[in-house]
Structure 1
Amino acid sequence: MASNSIVLITGANAGLGFEIVKALLKSTKPYTILLGGRSLEKAKAATQQAQTECPSSNSVIKPVQIDIESDSSITNLFDQISAEYGRVDVLINNAGAQFDMGAGSSLREMREMFNRSWDVNTTSTHLLTHTLAPLLIKSSDPRLLFMTSGTANLTGHSNPALPINHSPAKGWPKEGISLTAYRSVKVGLNMVMLEWKRLLSEDGVKVWSVSPGLLATNLGGAGPEVLKKMGARDPALGGNFVRTVVEGERDADVGKVVGWMMGPIQPW
């Protein structure tokens, strides 16, 4: 059985997930990183790229296939990890998507977009966590992270510092960006985090929501350059922040939404 901490990262072949992989590879602590991707081929390619960029790492990477929308993929991953490692020390629920932008305006299209937003970001994340929980509680230092958003903030919804909170001009239809589905599902995910903190408290599992801030990734399909114009930062900064949570720097903030761009604790 591996002595390294076993870290599973979903959605890790690109974007923030890939930056988390590289941040852990650059750590002085050794990890066995399970780099999860919807496609095993993409996970393998990302593994090779990460190894090329971090050739002197003390950690090892193994690509794994995980499509959190697929029940069979979830159970297959459970069986694989059970057989090879017998436990998970850190589960980073990074896989997610934003479907608001580019969605159609018909009722059918809007309903489909809303439903898939919930299914991918909240329901599927919960089901994966439910399936892997027996492996997580076998760890001597189990950690469970959920990736949330700075826009999923009920108390800060009127904060004018976030352009997404600005009210559009009167009239119909409304112009501008609306992330109603994405914001709603991430608020829901924060409640999922609190429930898992409650459920696994006596098992010693440390649980957080992590708000990595606006990062220049392909989330939502707008592209990194468009997001940079909106103030998005280097995704590597988000990866490094997640590493600090994994390595114990936010252990005093278990059960909270921890961040670094909107303050150390994000109210929601």
Structure 2
Amino acid sequence: MSSSSDRKVIFVTGANTGLGLEIIKALCKSTTAYHIFLGSRDPVKGEEAAKQVQQELPSTQSTIQVIQTDLSSDDSLEKAIETISSTTGHLDILINNAGASFDGQIKSNKMSIREAWNGSWDTNVSGTQVLTTLAIPLLLKSSNPRLLFMTSGTSSLIETDKFGHPAMARINASPEKGWPKDKGLNPIVSYRSTKTGLNMLMRDWCRVLKNDGVKVWAISPGFLATGLGGVGPEILKKMGALDPSVGGGFTVDVVEGKYDEHVGKVIRKDMVQPW
């Protein structure tokens, strides 16, 4: 096994479940050795996830360190970066994967519109911006720094007129005349708007870090059967969602240089996503 000083240092937020966990697994399957900071809002769930990966992949060359990461808390984010700084002294790759969707909470009357929208933007955009800003000094100590933002295929403005794919036909369809409108099976309007905002955030970091040699992307991982939004993976699979491992492998391909020609873009596995 390689020494810790030989390993690339990577921080993945929201990594105890769903796509984040699949990214961790894909990293551990790689021939490249990583020291992985597994970001989890609940450290106990983070440790359970780390143990699961280590049991599934006992021969991995990579190491996993759980780090408490709550995007709604500046104190949590500051402590996370302090931990990375004191442990490794630098960061090679930051994957801003953590995200939240509260549209279903509006539908079920568990949150007001304002609460749900503020929650979505606070986690998906504001918290991501705070963490990224805190992490930049550590990234600039890397010889090949990479910064990834996890966006969504639903974030494209031009594709709000797209109806060819069943998932797009469903979310872009107009309801019947009258009020109130049917809230739909899987409401995502606050979620997709935050991801459109996140795309602009990515573009601005691309501008800010252009002369620092930091490679920046937004990753559109595809329609995946995760627990995001509370709909449930099985229902999402019936809608055509793919296994989250597909997105995990794609993200690691970006980390390892297979999409370097598309720096500064929103990228899907097979194409550059239109704005």
TM-score (norm 2): 0.94
Aligned counterparts of 2:14 and 2:56: Cα–Cα separation in 1: 19
The letter of the residue matching 1:95 is: A
User: What residue in structure 2 maps to residue 85 of structure 1?
Assistant: 88
CA RMSD of aligned residues (A): 1.3
1:3 shift after superposition: 2.0
Superposition deviation, residue 75 in structure 1 = 0.7
Among 184, 198, 214, the residue aligned to 1:189:
198
CA deviations on 1:166-222 (whole Å, 9 max, x unpaired) are 111212221114321111110000000001111111110000000001111100001
- 2:106 is paired with a residue whose SS is coil
1:169 matched residue in structure 2: 176
- Residue type of the partner of 2:37? L
TM-score, normalised with respect to structure 1: 0.96
Listed one character per residue, the Cα deviations across residues 47-83 of structure 1 (whole Å, up to 9, x for unaligned) are: 1000011111111111111111111111111111111
For structure 1, the residue ranges without an aligned partner over 5 or more in a row are none
Corresponding letter in the other structure for 1:60: T
Partner residue in 2 for 1:237: 246
Residue 256 (structure 1) aligned with residue 258 (structure 2): no
One-letter amino acid matched to 2:176: A
**Aligned AA for 2:49?**
A
Residues paired across the two proteins, number? 265
Q: Which structure dedicates a bigger proportion of its chain to helix? A: 2
Are 1:48 and 2:51 counterparts?
A: yes
Distance 1:104 1:233 in 2: 25
How far, CA to CA, are the matches of 2:107 and 2:181 in structure 1? 14
* Secondary structure at the counterpart of residue 103 of structure 1: helix
Deviates more, 1:214-223 or 1:1-10: 1-10
Read off the aligned partner of 1:244 and give its amino acid letter: D
Q: Over residues 23-46 of structure 1, what are the superposed CA-to-partner deviations in whole Å (9 max), with x where a residue is unaligned?
A: 010011111111110011111111
1:105 & 1:114 partners in 2: Cα distance? Answer: 15
Of the three residues 23, 27, 30, the one matched with 1:24 is: 27
Displacement of 1:233: 0.3
Which residue does the alignment assign to 1:209? 218
| C-alpha separation in 2, matches of 1:77 and 1:189 | 21
Correspondence for 2:227: 218
Question: Are the counterparts in 2 of residues 208 and 256 from structure 1 also a CA contact under 8 Å?
Answer: yes
Per-residue CA deviation, residues 95-154 of structure 1 (Å, 9 max, x unaligned), is 001111131588x81011111111010000000000011001110000000000000010
Q: Does 2:75 correspond to 1:72?
A: yes
The one of 155, 159, 162 aligned to 2:158: 155
Asked if residue 115 in structure 1 is aligned to residue 118 in structure 2, the reply is yes
Match for residue 144 of structure 1?
A: 147
Q: Distance in 2 between matches of 1:85 and 1:37?
A: 19
Partner of 1:101: 104
Equivalent AA in structure 2 for residue 233 of structure 1: L
Amino acid at match of 1:226: I
1:116-135 map, 5 Å: 116-135=119-138
Q: Secondary structure at the match of 1:178?
A: coil
- Counterpart CA distance in 1 for 2:91 and 2:8 is 8
Q: What is the letter of the counterpart of residue 56 of structure 2? A: E
| SS of residue in 1 equivalent to 2:159 | coil
Question: What fraction of aligned residue pairs are identical, expressed as a percent?
Answer: 52
**C-alpha distance in structure 2 between counterparts of 1:207 and 1:226, whole Å:** 33
